[in-house]
Amino acid sequence: MKKLIRVAKVTVDGKSVPQKGWKNKPKTGELECYTCGTWIRHWENFSGKDRPSKCSIVGCNNDVADGAHVFNKDLLGTWIVPTCHECNVGRKETFSLKTNTILVNPHMHIYGGTIEPPKK
């Protein structure tokens, strides 16, 4: 399964990861990763990187506070990206992700990195 993907750098199954057309997945704010404690910590654990200083969303320069669940109609699944708290809870419209944003699969514990998650 795909553990993480990177905007504008890596292709998935021969297709570019879209930079535009992302949306917040609604009603994920109350759920945190049980194993990692928080979603931003989950992002760090599986990206192998420290959280970036600034929000991943184009046009936002706030400091990173959360790991947001995002999805794109052109890509299967839900992904975690580092964002500020305002973007995680309040952003309803479609947005673009900054170049080199790393997207981490939220299902790494459940599927153990060995089983493909069910197709939605």
Site string for Zn ion, 59-98 (x = CB under 5 A): -x-x--------------------xx--x-----------
Residue labelled with tokens 């973007």: 87
Pick 72 or 105: Cβ nearer Zn ion: 105
Structure tokens at 48: 């192998």
Residue labelled with tokens 């750098």: 9
Pick 4 or 36: Cβ nearer Zn ion: 36
36 near Zn ion (CB under 5 A): yes
Going by C-alpha positions, the residue among 67, 64, 63 that lies closest to residue 24 is 67
Contact 70, 23 (CB under 8 A): yes
For Zn ion, which stretch binds (CB under 5 A), given 3-11, 58-66, 70-78, 95-103? Answer: 58-66
With vertex at residue 108, the alpha carbon angle to CA 107 and CA 111, rounded to the nearest 5 degrees, is 80
Q: Which residues bind Zn ion (CB under 5 A)?
A: 33, 35-36, 42, 55, 57, 60, 62, 83-84, 87
